[in-house]
């Protein structure tokens, strides 16, 4: 009887755990894939939970430390690509990132679907979703920026190709991005 009570109580407490601000703002449920592992960028600035069987690539130079990953067992229009980077560079504030992003999107004729400011890992953050056409294929991108300090920031993105199950694929990718833990 005690075991049943504890199970019910823990289920209630888990279901009452508030969603992160990122998941709330994107209307996504927390849908982390099963069988994940913790991966870190090359310089160990952050870690992220990724599926065990996904292909992972690391990159670094003087200005960034990045990790790219995707499920390469699926067709590109059935999966998504995630990139997360810790970048070094002077940032005044999130509004600067927002202004620069708007200029780039306008210059490239990308359609911004939405954007919002929020808190990510207790850091000021900005995110947007955009769509464009590449080689006659729709590409939808969710892009996030979190300001770590005046000299560094985190970026993370989900790229989904094609038009099938876009919301589902973006939300799965956003849930993975939501697992990022910054080491600094």
Work out how many domains the chain is built from and give that number: 1
Give pLDDT tens digits for 123-141.
999 999 999 988 888 999 9
Q: What is the pTM of this model?
A: 0.86
Is 122 inside any structural domain?
A: yes
Tell me if residue 102 falls in helix, strand or coil: helix
| pLDDT over threshold 50, residue 80 | yes
**How confident is the model at residue 153, as a pLDDT?**
93
| pLDDT over threshold 90, residue 179 | yes
**How confident is the model at residue 1, as a pLDDT?**
52
Is 133 inside any structural domain?
A: yes
Is 169 inside any structural domain?
A: yes
Share of the chain above pLDDT 70, in %: 90
Give pLDDT tens digits for 2-43.
544 444 434 444 444 557 899 999 998 877 788 899 999 999
Closest CA to 156 of 106, 131, 121, 110: 121
Note down the domain range covering 121: 19-182
Q: Report d(CA 28, CA 51) in Å as an integer.
A: 18
Is 6 inside any structural domain?
A: no
Specify which residues 137 forms β-bridges with.
134
Is 11 inside any structural domain?
A: no
CATH code of residue 89: 3.40.1000.10
């Amino acid at each position: 009887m005690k075991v049943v009570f504890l199970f019910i109580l823990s289920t209630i407490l888990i279901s009452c755990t508030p969603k992160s601000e990122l998941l709330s703002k994107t209307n996504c449920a927390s849908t982390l894939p099963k069988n994940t592992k913790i991966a870190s960028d090359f310089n160990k600035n952050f870690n992220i939970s990724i599926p065990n069987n996904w292909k992972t690539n690391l990159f670094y130079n003087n200005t960034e430390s990045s990790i790219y990953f995707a499920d390469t067992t699926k067709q590109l229009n059935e999966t998504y690509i995630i990139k997360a980077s810790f970048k070094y560079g002077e940032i005044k504030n999130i509004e600067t990132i927002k202004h620069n992003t708007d200029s780039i999107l306008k210059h490239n004729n990308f359609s911004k679907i939405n954007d919002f400011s929020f808190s990510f890992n207790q850091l000021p953050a900005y995110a947007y979703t955009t769509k464009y056409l590449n080689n006659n294929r729709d590409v939808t991108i969710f892009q996030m920026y979190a300001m770590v300090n005046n000299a560094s920031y985190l970026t993370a993105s989900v790229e989904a190709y094609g038009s099938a199950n876009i919301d589902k694929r973006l939300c799965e990718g956003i849930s993975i991005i939501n697992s990022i833990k910054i080491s600094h």
